[in-house]
Structure 1
């Protein structure tokens, strides 16, 4: 028997418009070879076998269509005719009955008797010989193709006849191709060449879905492939049942999605071919969703399904035993068997399974629920207790399904509403956001009231938070704090209310949430005296920097056991508590992964990504942001997804990837601006401003960064205005906007005095140095000496670069090279490409006059480094003022350098500067 690899595709394999033959290259190649041999005068036979829906019929259609020059005889067997002798032969030969000889010959008599047109006994061997003789006669003029589908339903007489024909037709151009569900070794065509048609590989299944469900997103495609196991018919039908994956139905059933009518009929037919005990055993296995072998075995024995029944279902390929589990080939087979067996058979299976279990067994409640004909409060209570035990063990999705089914069985609307709210929360905690929201809506429609907030833990506000609608979320969160009884849940709602108020830049909403939090009485630290300062950004005026910083850091470490109390990452960074916050999150994330808590994990990853960015752990930051973005997309949490894009946009700006910056910020602004989430809009404009500044476009940078302080603008946000103050100051100084630069310097210095945050002290000193004055060098040195400043490597290296540029302009080249060299090392390690290029240029300018030249550069070797730089920018058609902005020199100095360039090169116009532009850049 030939056994092909698992659905491996072949280059050039033909496929119809529906994509049904994706991944069937080797099977079609074998069929093409059979047809080619027949055209050369040699016959052959092939049996295609495999589970229902795997694509056998599609292969039969393929070979039929490819044999247009053959005499084509085809038949599809059916169960009603399985007991009628020679019924299949009658259907197969009907097109050529006129070719049967007169009834006087023995061959004709045997055929007519088999077809019911003559009297007398039927000799099966004679019939087989007569059919073979007829086909060989037809093949004398043109090759013959015999195609039989659903061979498992062929009557015994026809099966034996076709077996005789297939084994003896090789000497004639006759091809026989049959399809069967079962291994041909146990069928009448034993000994014939056979190919098991397996499910599609993931790659081939994706190609099929690209045609069958072109609008399905990646998460849906993954689910469809996983749940169907690559069965082509199941993929087609699942795609047709609504176009996309019905997550809600999937989670309600707790098993694979419902199957289509064709697949259901196919498996029903496969089950009906079994003996009653084997049929019951298959349905028991489908009803026992955990696949526990001992449970199915006990139930089977209690119903008379013994070892013989187990052997029968195993031989049929429907079930297999692996250790203590009973498994179907893939989930959709279980679903097809369960749906296709009929309501009476399902209820009987659940009744038998429930009878074999002790009263306290959790699974017993499920089986009682499955056989309940109507609403039943007793069963609903059993399911609710099952849900409570499941949640204690961490089985949130099992608990959710138990509560959902309990709600369906609840006679009283208030009980149903209460249980639906509990199911919604459990589904939310399991990361099934769409299902959770639908159940919460159903609970509110059924019986609105405070019980919904109490049972769901204030889920409505949490959902609105993830969607990024701050004012709506704040209303629900603060209102539901009065209805939720669990202190930990109330604490989480209050801190979420603080977050959304901060995101919206609404100090009044923050104060309201803080007041509610002050009234809480929970074990452990809640709202310390310093906490209001964190959120309002206005710490006590009389606090010393060291005292504030130390108190905040201690507060953060004390709150490690209550993560909701931590402020958002940008706010923690602003206050200088990013170090301990990062430690808390790095311990928290593995715990959330083990708990399988996608919503909180996505939030933690988004927070950690930003803190890792500023700490110079860019690989970790990117990994966290990408993982958090995937989780947020799967949950439909736009707000969390935008936070992850914010980190990716910041990282792309630092790396010089302007395309990613544009894409990430555009996606964030699409949702944050209409919804009034100022923090996300501000973060997007900050990333854009950074990207422009690092690519030496200060005017464009300032245009973006000014939005952070523009009154009434959707990106106005005090926290991000502080974090971006150094960028704003640098852009303003390069454009001569000293009024704006002075304003940002004062804001940074005031914040540094108030918080003592290392980044703020460093940035405050650097901005003071940038605006110039007698104390510029002292400010630069103080910036580089700030304790803890190196924990923000990009910021510290920028300070070195700016100091080195200042020294170079003062002709202190040796000192400049020291600072610029240190910056280059950090930029290179981080991958900050635009800043690295700028630092290399500055380092080059600190070399001796003419040091960049070489004999191969022609006349340009006589130019100084600064003259060559000016000449290159002038060759790019920049004006003197634009060159002055780039090089941070006056436009008059630019004119002086250009005069020297023209004299040394012997040219008179800027258009003749191409010779300089063509020279290679220095290393």
Structure 2
């Protein structure tokens, strides 16, 4: 049975909840919990209880420190430092990411989500030896990078025997959605008992009732407030603080106790409060500069304010705050100056720079330069928020207007990269208040455009990028061209929802007049020229340039630049009807994003690859990537529309599921200004209804999908669906107009994919021998491509035409082929359509029987089983799905039991479909 300390009186419910968490962790489960409540309510005491009531568990602790919020990964390093001897057990990208983040090695700034995955893996490895409980106090004061990494791990905990408990006044947004427990004030009877335990004499009953009422049962207030009052004041109530905020009341109590201490002890507490590390050696070195002896610590300990042992530890964060804020500004500056002087510049240059900045009474160019160097180191470790904070402080300490503006601009860029958009806007305003060069002013325009694009995926992003590109023309032609290319992509995303100046035709017209590159054109230059020409001059004008761009894509490009342009390259392959390039590029896109840990790019990469697999008829592989895409979105908080799920539902013929996705997607992208999403949603709507034979609905969706006709890539698929649906409805004029638009692209495209789509669509408009010739041509053309779904649908349309021509025997041959292909691929509605047509010819086609036992698996189990079947190791599966390898093994054991197998090699026998691995290009 648990026993509470006096400070935990009345906490039976909370202690039971913590006991259950420990029991679950010891039983092999993982648990996360967020304790939150007002200052002093007892959150830290509950963590102390957990420390002493976790038998058989390793307990690790960390705490957020308000003054350390600017130092990237400081909190994470606190927690993980004792575990770093396990780093070698982590997969190489995760190991390198953590080593770089902690300043243990140099390297490219790690992706913040790769850091989170590395933390998850590290906790899992430590827990293999003994169940692990991690306690994080004052989470609201963690640096942002640490909060993100720990929250990421908390969300992905599975079967690792890890408990992760946070305590916070108000939890940061990073912890949203995690299980929580509100810690409230004590009930009146418990509050009275706690107050009585610290009173040293009798007290008037009404005064006691008033204290209990005003503190609202806050344990720290009940313990601390009476300490600053005399017995006479308590007896009569004359010294009660009155109606002031509780946090202020407690801090004022601490402040009174600090002010009652000897001057030397006050100076010691100030130095300890100014140092967030709790390193006693550092504090005593600084204290020595003021001639303060070791005996100054005793009064602080006797007053219950701080202890100076193996670590410097304050009674409560409000005690630290009181010790710091009660000191005059000049004394604080002297404390920071002393700490800066005793901080090793080689081992801890960033904290030294921070202390120097706090010690400065005004602008100081040397300190500003040092802060700028600290920002560079923070950025190299992936601490974008820290880099921005250093740069912002550097700007504040800079007197020269030009330098000040430049540093504010750099800080704004770091804030945008870190996703802190409100502060970025303020820093841009600071930058614009000083003299800016033309390049810097253009950078301001680009950053404002990125803010618009990141916050609304539309709005005025393209217009702002266009403004920046024009400003850069006489200054830096290459940078101007890169910005024009960004503007084109932003305009393509905005599509039909573009605002004034954002329209893709306006952007293309301006981009057509961009200055020529200073060197031989590379793939990005050709993408710009070809895309602009295809939109501004006409589709055919852009095709040869775009084909050259795709042919040399990647040559002379860094991995970062390749990733930045890969999505547009995939769109270009679709625009030019080049399924081979689409296949190679989409595979490389996923590969590059995974290899580099560029999780920000991975959602788009997986989407591009998913659609290639869908059109190739590999719905099983596409489903696996769609599952992975959902895991990435959940892990990263990506707001990308569910494009992959839309296409999958449409081809499967899932009428209800597709309808829900279509409606939700249109609502979401309309709100965000991402017009391309409407085209995708209505295309999916047309596909599912064509499969079901609901041709009027399909035609209506096709008209909506093709209503915006300024972006050719968005029309390639939608026009084909509209023509099929409208032809079945006898909408001759609609068919003719749509075919004319399609023919403009397919004739210039000239690939087997383009000419196959053209022939199939033309056949629907034709009669007799002409129709038959076109159907056969369509089948022959698609047979040379990777597009198995289009080939099967060509067989289906030809078979339907033959049946109407009363050539039943020939119709059966085509319909059998179509049905077999569509059924095998899982293209459900079209397979059913082929089955109905076969039945009309007098032949019966039977549906395939699903694999036995398959339906027993949960969605996550099925996902893991598919990846294991495809040859991925447990760590590789864990990396894909953002879970630990231990959790993967846990789920595989359940999979084996449900499917009645004993090894991974047997998965191929019991799971349908072909492997879902992404092939390597070449």
Does the TM-score normalized on the shorter chain lie above 0.5? yes
Within 2, Cα distance between the matches of 1:556 and 1:397? 34
Q: In structure 1, how many angstroms separate the alpha carbons of the residues matched to 2:332 and 2:681?
A: 56
In structure 2, the residue matched to 1:63 is: 189
The CA deviation at 1:405 is 0.7
Aligned pair partner of 1:771 in 761, 765, 774:
765
Gaps of 5+ in 1: 12-17, 31-49, 66-71, 97-144, 160-236, 241-258, 635-640, 853-923
Q: Within 2, Cα distance between the matches of 1:548 and 1:265?
A: 72
Aligned partner of 1:400 among 388, 406, 411: 388
Asked whether the 8 Å contact 1:295–1:356 carries over to 2, the reply is: yes
* Residue 461 to residue 57, structure 1, CA distance change in 2 (3 Å): closer
Question: What residue number does 1:245 align with?
Answer: none
2:704 counterpart of 1:703: no
**Which aligned pairs between 1:853-872 and structure 2 lie closer than 5 A?**
none
Deviation per residue, 1:764-802 (Å, 9 max, x gap): 232233334324455444434447866345434433443
Decide whether the 8 Å contact of 2:40 with 2:220 is kept in 1. no
| 1:354-413 alpha-carbon deviations (Å, 9 max, x no partner) | 011356733322111112223333322322233244445544332211110112222344
Alignment match, 1:822? 820
Q: 1:319 to 1:7 in 2, by over 3 A?
A: farther
Q: Displacement, 1:448?
A: 6.4
Q: What are the superposed Cα offsets for residues 417-475 of structure 1, whole Å, 9 maximum, x if unpaired?
A: 32211101112223333332332234335656636436658312333344312552343
Residues 694 and 280 of structure 1: is their aligned pair in 2 closer, same or farther, counting only changes over 3 Å? Answer: farther
CA deviation vs aligned residue, 1:19-56 (integer Å, no higher than 9, x gap): 999999x99xx9xxxxxxxxxxxxxxxxxxx9999899
CA deviation map 1:119-138 (0-9, x unaligned): xxxxxxxxxxxxxxxxxxxx
Q: Report the alpha carbon displacement of residue 678 of structure 1 after superposing the two structures with TM.
A: 5.1
Q: Tell me the residue number matched to 1:473.
A: 464
* Map of 2:398 onto structure 1: 410
1:506 aligns with 2:510: no
Shift in alpha-carbon separation, 1:611–1:368, aligned structure 2, 3 A: farther
For 1:207, the equivalent position in structure 2 comes to: none
In structure 2, C-alpha distance between the alignment counterparts of 1:290 and 1:522, rounded to whole Å = 54
Aligned to 2:222: 150
1:386 to 374, 394, 406: 374
Q: Check if 1:532 corresponds to 2:530.
A: yes
Q: CA deviation at 1:283?
A: 5.9
In 2, are the aligned partners of 1:668 and 1:680 still within 8 Å (CA)?
yes
2:754 to 755, 760, 770: 760
Q: Name the CA shift for 1:699/1:421 in 2 (closer, same or farther; >3 Å).
A: same
1:492 paired with 2:564, answer no
Q: Which residue of 1 aligns with 2:793?
A: 798
What's the counterpart of residue 669 of structure 1? 670
What count of residue pairs does the alignment treat as equivalent?
A: 642
Aligned to 1:579: 583
Using the alignment, how far apart are the partners of 2:227 and 2:461 within structure 1?
69
Aligned to 1:724: 718
Deviation at 1:552, TM superposition (A): 4.7
Q: 1:602 to 1:843 in 2, by over 3 A?
A: same
**Does the residue aligned with 2:362 lie in a helix, a strand or coil?**
coil
Contact 1:443 1:452 in 2 (8 A): no
Taking a change above 3 Å as real, the CA distance of residues 512 and 826 of structure 1, as seen in their structure-2 partners, is: farther
The 8 Å contact of residues 756 and 779 in structure 2, kept in 1 or not, is answered as yes
> In structure 2, the residue corresponding to 1:771 is in which secondary structure?
coil
| Secondary structure in 1 matching 2:343 | coil
- 1:351 equivalent in structure 2: 337
| Residue 252 of structure 1: aligned partner | none
Change over 3 Å in CA distance of 1:528–1:276 after alignment to 2:
same
Contact between 1:268 and 1:340, CA under 8 Å: does it hold in 2?
A: yes
Residue matched to 2:808: 811
Provide the residue aligned with 2:553 in structure 1: 556
Cα gap change, 1:454 to 1:621, in 2 (>3 Å): same
The correspondence for 1:518, drawn from 516, 519, 544, is 516
1:620 to 1:277, Cα distance in 2 relative to 1, 3 A: farther
Q: Please, which of 403, 406, 421 is the counterpart of residue 433 of structure 1?
A: 421
Name the counterpart of 1:589: 593
What is the match of residue 203 of structure 2? Answer: 90
Measure the CA separation in 1 of the matches of 2:441 and 2:358. Answer: 29
Q: Specify whether residues 74 and 389 from structure 1 end up closer, same or farther in structure 2 by C-alpha distance, changes over 3 A only.
A: closer
Structure 1 residues 513-546: Cα deviation after superposition (integer angstroms, max 9, x where no partner) = 2432523448955423994157616789699x9x
Closer/same/farther in 2, CA of residues 574 and 528 from structure 1, 3 Å limit = closer
Question: Is 2:410 the partner of 1:422?
Answer: yes
Q: Secondary structure at the match of 2:552?
A: helix
Q: Distance in 2 between matches of 1:22 and 1:75?
A: 14
Give distance in 1, aligned partners of 2:726 and 2:330. 79
Pick from 748, 760, 778 the counterpart of residue 783 of structure 1: 778
Among residues 606, 619, 623, which one is paired with 1:619 in the alignment? 623
Cα–Cα, structure 1 residues 302 and 376, in superposed 2: closer, same or farther, change >3 Å? Answer: closer
Shift of the 372–278 alpha-carbon distance from structure 1 to 2, 3 Å rule, reads same
Tell me the CA shift for residue 821 of structure 1: 3.1
8 Å contact from structure 2 (residues 333, 359) kept in 1? yes
Decide which structure has the larger Cα Rg and report it.
1
Match of 1:377 in 2: 365
Contact 1:780 1:799 (8 Å CA) reproduced: yes
Q: With the length of structure 2 as denominator, give the TM-score of the two structures.
A: 0.57
Counterpart CA distance in 1 for 2:315 and 2:523 is: 53
Post-superposition shift, 1:89? 2.8
Alpha-carbon distance in 1 for matches of 2:755, 2:360: 69
Tell me the TM-score normalized by structure 1.
0.57
Shift of 1:663: 1.1
Deviates more, 1:773-782 or 1:271-280: 271-280
Distance (Å, rounded) in 1 between the aligned partners of 2:302 and 2:794: 73
CA distance in 2, matches of 1:417, 1:92: 62
Contact 1:421 1:443 in 2 (8 A): yes
Q: CA RMSD in A?
A: 5.6
- Distance in 1, Cα, partners of 2:472 & 2:275: 41
Residues 262 and 350 of structure 1, relative CA distance in 2, 3 Å threshold: same
Q: Shift in Å at residue 825 of structure 1? A: 3.0
The residue aligned with 1:460 is 448
Over 3 Å counting, the alpha-carbon distance change for 1:835 and 1:59 in structure 2 is: same
In the aligned structure 1, how far is the partner of 2:729 from the partner of 2:649?
Answer: 25
Bigger relative contact order, structure 1 or 2 (CA pairs below 8 A, ≥6 apart): 2
User: Measured at CA, do residues 693 and 841 of structure 1 come closer, stay the same or move farther in structure 2, by a change above 3 Å?
Assistant: same
Measure, in 2, the Cα distance between the counterparts of 1:153 and 1:492: 63
Deviation digits for residues 302-335 of structure 1 (CA, Å, limit 9, x no counterpart): 676869969998997989999xx98999999988
SS of the aligned residue for 2:693 comes to coil
Contact 2:775 2:794 in 1 (8 A): yes
Does structure 2 retain, via aligned residues, the 8 Å contact 1:384–1:406? Answer: yes
Task: Please report how far the alpha carbon of residue 63 of structure 1 lies from its aligned counterpart in structure 2 after TM superposition.
Answer: 3.4
Partner of 2:77: none
Aligned residue among 717, 737, 745 for 2:731: 737
- Give the Å deviation of 1:824: 3.1
Contact 2:446–2:464 (CA<8 Å) still a contact in 1?
no
Give yes or no for contact 1:88–1:155 (8 Å, CA) kept in 2. Answer: no
Answer yes or no: is the 8 Å Cα contact 1:420–1:443 preserved in 2: yes
1:400 and 1:426 in contact (8 A); partners too: yes
SS, match of residue 765 in structure 1: helix
The answer to whether the 8 Å contact 2:526/2:546 transfers is: no
